[in-house]
Amino acid sequence: MKLGIDIILSEQRPLIEGKRLGVLAHEASVTSDGRHLVDTLLSDKGLNVTTLFGPEHGIASKAQDMEPVRSYSYQGGDRAVPVYSLYGNDLDSLSPKDEMLGDVDVLLIDLQDIGSRYYTFIWTTVLCLKACRKNNKKVIILDRPNPLNGVDVEGALQEKGFESFVGLYPMPVRHGMTIGEAALYINEEHKIDCDLQVIQMQGWRRNRFWRDTGLKWIDPSPNMRSFNAALLYPGMCLIEGTNISEGRGTDTPFEIVGAPYMSSEELIAEFDKLGLPGVKAAPTAFIPMRQKWAGRMCNGVRFMITDEAVFKPYLTGLAFIWTVNRLYKDKGFEWRTAPYEFVGDKPAIDLLTGSSYFRQNIDNDLGLIAGLSTPSTESLEKRQDALLY
């Protein structure tokens, strides 16, 4: 299997020779044999890298979620290259400024997405498309696998007014596209009209999960530490919209969740009654080292995926929070009220689910809520023209 990065460095090298190159990358921007894109380009005397950009978490992928990242100078061999952060203190910081693109002819983008609308790398890419269109710059995306496969799709589209940096344009939560396909879709559907080229992978099939690729997992962000975490993320990221710990500050974020007011045994007994496909819950207790409930003992569950082919992560996340609310709404469960991804006038859970429906109907029958996990026929049809594999 060859990644987009492998192909541009060998078969399609003329696309970047003689050009002033900007590069948007992070820790997981590596070739299939483990060489990092930035170091590889900077050490190549035949290529001219003038500018680097880092998404949320930075090029080194060390900053925590929603933590501003500073700009700095990167020393690559005998060259010092400016590194511009595309994740700062406000919405304006998320897009490249005109002057940042002044020394760029072509912007190379190589980011490992994880197949979920909430993961911000797609939206950083989209904002780069808009900035490059404005400044008449070309964008080349080096495509990578969707770890969750490119077939299964979950989630209704966001309603108008619920756009944010976890969904700038309408998209299902588990979108079933590579980052290159998602960029092509948004560029066309929403008429951004950037000069965009995607370097396709060779050997990837839409029905493949990450473990089928043979590639080594490299954390694309500090808390995305395994394929299991990525597969759970379309559902367990919803926990960020509550006062439940999603396991940040532990070794297995998104695989374990809990809070001091919970009883593991009681929660599992109710969760098991739902009969959700491909997943089981086991009891756990943990003490987060930071963020929610830091230093406090949390009782909760560890999710074990028993069959990834039938597992529905978004449905599981909706159903789990519905169960927690049913058991603990008068015993400690609350929605997050603090600003989320630079938005302060809408609850985080509404931004994540794309409407107020889930929050407003949480006390009703689960059947009403479960429908939110079903993608619309329209959204499935619209993405077809952007699919490359």
Is 227-373 CATH 3.10.350.10?
no
- Give me the pLDDT at residue 76, please: 65
**What are the tokens at 12?**
């399609």
Task: Specify which residues 139 forms β-bridges with.
Answer: 107, 196
Q: How far apart are CA 49 and CA 21, in angstroms?
A: 5
Q: Residues 204, 387: contact at Cβ < 8 Å?
A: no
Helix extents (H) in 329-383? 348-353, 357-360, 366-370, 377-383
Q: DSSP letters of 117-143?
A: TTSTHHHHHHHHHHHHHHTT-EEEEE-
Measured from the Cβ of residue 78, the count of other Cβ atoms closer than 10 Å reads 6
Catalogue the long-range contacts made by 122-125 (C-beta closer than 8 Å, 24 or more residues apart): 122/171, 122/179, 122/182, 122/183, 123/94, 123/165, 123/166, 123/167, 123/168, 124/24, 124/55, 124/56, 124/86, 124/87, 124/94, 125/24, 125/179, 125/182, 125/183
Sign of the torsion formed by the C-alpha atoms of 86, 124, 96 and 73: positive
Q: 9: closest CA among 82, 110, 104? A: 110
Q: How far apart are CA 366 and CA 369, in angstroms?
A: 5
- Give me the pLDDT at residue 78, please: 72
Topology (CATH level 3) of domain 4-221+381-386: Rossmann fold (3.40.50)
Q: What are the residues whose beta carbons fall under 8 Å from the beta carbon of 238, sequence distance 6 or more?
A: 317, 318, 321, 349, 352, 353
pTM, 2 dp: 0.96
The percent helix, strand, coil of the chain (3-state, each to 5) is 30, 20, 50
Phi, psi of 122 (to 5 degrees): -60, -40
Q: Residues 83, 54: contact at Cβ < 8 Å?
A: yes
Q: How far apart are CA 23 and CA 101, in angstroms?
A: 11
pLDDT along the chain (389 residues), means of 10: 97 97 98 95 94 95 87 79 95 97 98 98 98 98 98 96 97 98 98 98 97 96 97 98 97 98 98 98 97 97 98 98 98 97 97 98 94 93 94
Q: How far apart are CA 17 and CA 147, in angstroms?
A: 31
- Domain extent listing, the chain: 4-221+381-386, 227-373
Asked whether this chain's domains 4-221+381-386 and 227-373 adopt the same fold, the reply is: no
Phi, psi of 6 (to 5 degrees): -65, -40
**What are the tokens at 387?**
């699919």
Measured from the Cβ of residue 271, the count of other Cβ atoms closer than 10 Å reads 22
Cα angle 54-58-64, degrees, rounded to a multiple of 5? 150
- What is the helix (H) or strand (E) element at residue 257, kind and residue range? strand 256-259
Sole residue written with tokens 């490299």: 218
Q: How far apart are CA 14 and CA 206, in angstroms?
A: 28
